[in-house]
Amino acid sequence: MTSISGGPLEGYLVLDFSQFLAGPMAAMRLGDLGARVIKVERPPAGDIGRGLAFGGISEDGDTLSFHITNRNKESYAADLKSDDDREKVLELVKSADVIVQNFRPGVMERLGLGYEAVRALNPTVIYASITGYGAEGPWSTRPGQDLLAQSLSGLPWLNGSGDGPPVPVGIALADIITSIHLAHGVTAALLKKERTGEGSRVDTSLLESMLDLQFELVSAHLNDPSVLVQRGAPHTAHAFLQAPYGTYPTSDGYIALAMGSVPDLGELVGLDALAEFGDPDTWWTEQTRITQLLAAHLATNTTDHWLSILDAADFWCAPVLSLPELVNHEGFAAIDMAQEFTRTRPDGTDITLTTTRAPVRFDGKPLGSPRGAPRVGEHTKSIDVEFRGKDNE
């Protein structure tokens, strides 16, 4: 893979004040694109995310989550409530191209590191912030956490089916999507800076990201309030798409069916009962009946059996893979999505971990870096020498 030194954002300096997932992931994405990222952490524990474990996995005192979302970074230890430490950080601020932070509204201002204070020191800085639900409004002071943001946005209700309970997406979806939006905004602001010499303030939130994810449904309701989300029957996969769109059990797994003619599908799989649904309007009005018939029929044979028939006819379909099936599939290997990175322990031995790479390529090459996440304050002295001409002593 291409080294971080060859990335398109090489030469830009990012100060990452953020914690947990959304902010650190946004800064990580900028680092994946070549920016230098210095993570500012409070000693001795550092980012609270160092203790947020994915699956209980930890290495060298930090969780797998922290290792993944803070790779390619340097760590500068500073207590922002200390006048001396804050002055040292302000020296870094003067040289930064980008500031990333995800504290609750008002916290950075109380620390003397709000947008106006930073802009006074560095007029061309890009000041990038993530909140849970925006800086104002009745939800602005609520905890900005992924499940809570998903829930307020209505996504778990949309994600269920029939009369079942709400079903949250089983990953940190709000954090991940928000990190993408912030990195997108920062790169646009950097382009503006190159063109005009002006800095910018970039803001987004978990809630805004979740609403953008549901733009089809929200837009439909805003234009016609009578349009409501009617969760489909079991096996359906989209509130606004008719049968056969959904996932169906087979004798050894599941198969996903996208848009297509219901009678044509019936002919392909040998389900004569679908011939009666020749009017496309019935794919909506009789959605429950159609999906019930399909589920019962497709369960009589294997996923590969149905795929061989449907793929040959170019009917849009795919197997529903489990995580082990995915990572062991030749399709996963073909896109070269995994990368390794290494961190050296204090005793001089190395730990090597594997994660996914940045999901973009430049000039046909994927971006990656072998450098792991830093220990708390690992680079404080060298950074002080570089930016202040002396170490921290």
Q: Name the residues annotated as catalytic.
A: 175
Q: How far apart are CA 366 and CA 352, in angstroms?
A: 20
Nearest to 93 by CA among 106, 105, 76, 110: 76
Question: What are the angstrom distances between the C-alpha of 118 and each of 93, 115, 263, 317, 392?
Answer: 7, 5, 63, 52, 22
Type of residue at 256:
A
Q: 381 and 392 in contact (C-beta within 8 Å)?
A: yes
351 DSSP β-pair partners: 343
Report the run of H or E that residue 86 belongs to, with start and end.
helix 83-95
Helices (H), 122-224: 146-153, 155-159, 173-196, 206-213, 215-223
Give the closest residue to 174 by CA, choosing from 356, 26, 361: 26
Distance from C-alpha of 220 to C-alpha of 301, rounded to nearest angstrom: 38
Contacts 24+ apart (CB under 8 A), 359-365: 362/2, 362/7, 362/8, 365/1, 365/2
Label residue 112 left, alpha or beta by phi (over 0 means left) and psi (-120 to 50 means alpha): left
CA distances to 239, 261, 279 from 315, rounded to whole Å, are 21, 9, 19
Are 17 and 1 contacting, i.e. CB atoms less than 8 angstroms apart?
no
| Distance (Å) of CA 233 to CA 183, 220, 237, 263, 359 | 37, 21, 9, 19, 34
Beta strand 254-257 with 317-319 is: antiparallel
Strand ranges, E, within the chain: 13-16, 36-41, 58-59, 62-63, 73-77, 98-101, 126-131, 200-205, 246-249, 254-257, 317-319, 338-344, 350-356, 361-362, 365-366
By residue count, the chain amounts to 393
